[in-house]
Amino acid sequence: MTHRIRVRHNFETAHRLPHLGGKCHSLHGHSWWAEVVVEAEELSADQTIVEFGPFKKELRAFIDAHLDHGAMLGADDPLAPLLAAHGSKVYLFGQAPYVRDLPHPTVEAVAVLLARASEAILDGRERAAGARVGRVRVTETHVNAAEYVPGDGRRDPSLRRAAS
């Protein structure tokens, strides 16, 4: 049997995808939604997978600190230093800790980012044995979304506690 909990958060963030061409080349914003599912085969002694409050607080803190009202760009994007020099928050895909291997801020890559950040948050909390991120869904528009189901690579120690 598998138990699951689900938490959501939203963020207002720009991105652009010059490598795809077309209109995604232009810097544009979305009202993103992230939904993180945490699952475990057995509940902990307090009958939870992980307590909602502290888990959500840390997830929201990560999203608000790094993504909300900022821009997600590729590390080689010439707009990145310009925006940063003018006080914009910039999260660099291809460079920031959870996304060094993901050079472009597609909705799929954002789902991986939030799965890895959630996994690190989970690692630092009281939780049921074997509790893990089961799925992350990221919505960038009413009609575009990506889902990521982490595989065995999720426990890569180099990705742990990179949130702070």
Ligand X SMILES: Nc1nc2c(c(=O)[nH]1)N=C([C@H](O)[C@H](O)COP(=O)(O)OP(=O)(O)OP(=O)(O)O)CN2
Task: Name 14's bridge partners.
Answer: 29, 71
Q: Is 108 in the site for ligand X (CB under 6 A)?
A: yes
Q: Is 106 in the site for ligand X (CB under 6 A)?
A: yes
Smallest gap from residue 88 Cβ to ligand X (A): 18
Assess contact for 30 and 15: CB atoms under 8 A.
yes
Q: Is 143 in the site for ligand X (CB under 6 A)?
A: yes
**Strand boundaries in the chain, DSSP class E:** 3-15, 28-40, 70-74, 89-93, 132-139, 145-148
**SS3 (DSSP) at 131:** coil
Smallest gap from residue 66 Cβ to ligand X (A): 18
CB-nearest residue to ligand X: 106
> Position 151: which residue type?
G
> Position 23: which residue type?
K
Q: Which stretch binds ligand X (CB under 6 A): 42-50, 78-86, 102-110, 147-155?
A: 102-110
- Taking the CA atoms of residue 36, residue 40, residue 45 and residue 47 in that order, the dihedral angle to the nearest 10 degrees is 60
Q: How many CA atoms lie within 13 A of 48 on its CB side?
A: 12
Tell me the site size for ligand X, rule CB under 6 A: 10
Q: Is 49 in the site for ligand X (CB under 6 A)?
A: no
Smallest gap from residue 34 Cβ to ligand X (A): 14
Smallest gap from residue 42 Cβ to ligand X (A): 36
Smallest gap from residue 53 Cβ to ligand X (A): 31
In the complex, the residues that contact ligand X under the rule CB under 6 A are: 17, 20, 24, 28, 106-108, 141, 143-144
